[in-house]
């Protein structure tokens, strides 16, 4: 167990914070979530939105009229 904790502490891609009570853990989680949400909101405000392209048609062949759609009244 000690070896695992040391590897986590040494990893620069994660954050390791100790706590001694459930309320302290709750506060740490609340603060982390608030920071993540704020970062996400800031990124979404500054990100450029790519224009939506219409779908490419599967075929350019004309579709023959049917009794329901496209039929010519006589």
pLDDT in tens, 22-70: 999 999 999 999 999 998 888 777 766 677 788 777 777 777 777 776 6
pLDDT tens figures, 14-28: 777 888 999 999 999
Q: Where are the domains of the chain?
A: 23-48
Which CA distances in Å does 73 have to 3, 62, 64, 65? 82, 19, 15, 11
pLDDT for 58:
75
pLDDT of residue 47: 64
Residue 3, H or E segment: helix 2-10
Q: What is the full DSSP assignment across 24-73?
A: HHHHHHHHHHHHHHHHHHHHHHHSPPPPPPPPPPS--SPPPP-SSSSPPP
């Amino acid at each position: 167990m000690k070896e695992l904790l040391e590897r986590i502490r040494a990893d620069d891609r994660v954050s390791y914070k100790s706590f001694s009570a459930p309320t302290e853990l709750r506060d740490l989680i609340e603060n982390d979530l608030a920071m993540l949400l704020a970062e996400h909101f800031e990124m979404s405000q500054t990100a450029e939105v790519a224009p939506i392209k219409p779908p490419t048609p599967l075929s350019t062949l004309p579709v023959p009229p049917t009794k329901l759609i496209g039929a010519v009244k006589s």
